[in-house]
Amino acid sequence: MPLSEHEQRMLEQMERALYAEDPKFASALEGSGLRTYTRRRVYQAVAGFLVGIALLMAGMVAQQIWVSVVGFLVMLGCAVLAVTGWRKAPKPGEQPAAGAARRQVRQKRSMMDRIEQRWQRRRDDQGH
């Protein structure tokens, strides 16, 4: 559930107050969570890729084509996760794109507003 405009303003005020009080602590908190998450995601994808290779080889040795196909699909999926996770990871000392996240929330909210308006119009047209 997205935050209301009032809640977003309050959150921004709290962020500004935190920066004013302790900018070093605030900057340490800001990037580390996303950076740690994406690093962990890339490591998991690499481990999954290795499992996919093992499945591929096991399928070839056991002459079970379906095991090899599953191994290849696991490798492909993990490669995609690793590449997308690597691209999204903020560089050390870089600020995450908070503006992009806020725009995305606003776009989702506006889409939900449009859906709610359509629903209301349909109900009104049906005479409820």
d(CA 103, CA 97): 10
The per-residue pLDDT for range 8-56, each reduced to its tens digit, is: 788 778 877 777 787 776 666 665 565 677 778 888 888 999 999 999 9
| Full 3-state SS string of the chain | CCCCHHHHHHHHHHHHHHHHHCHHHHHHHHHHHHHHHHHHHHHHHHHHHHHHHHHHHHHHHCCCHHHHHHHHHHHHHHHHHHHHHHHHCCCCCCCCCHHHHHHHHHHHHHHHHHHHHHHHHHHHHHCC
**CB half-sphere exposure, 97, CA atoms < 13 A:** 8
The per-residue pLDDT for range 52-74, each reduced to its tens digit, is: 999 999 999 999 999 999 999 99
More confident residue, 76 or 118: 76
- Model pTM score: 0.45
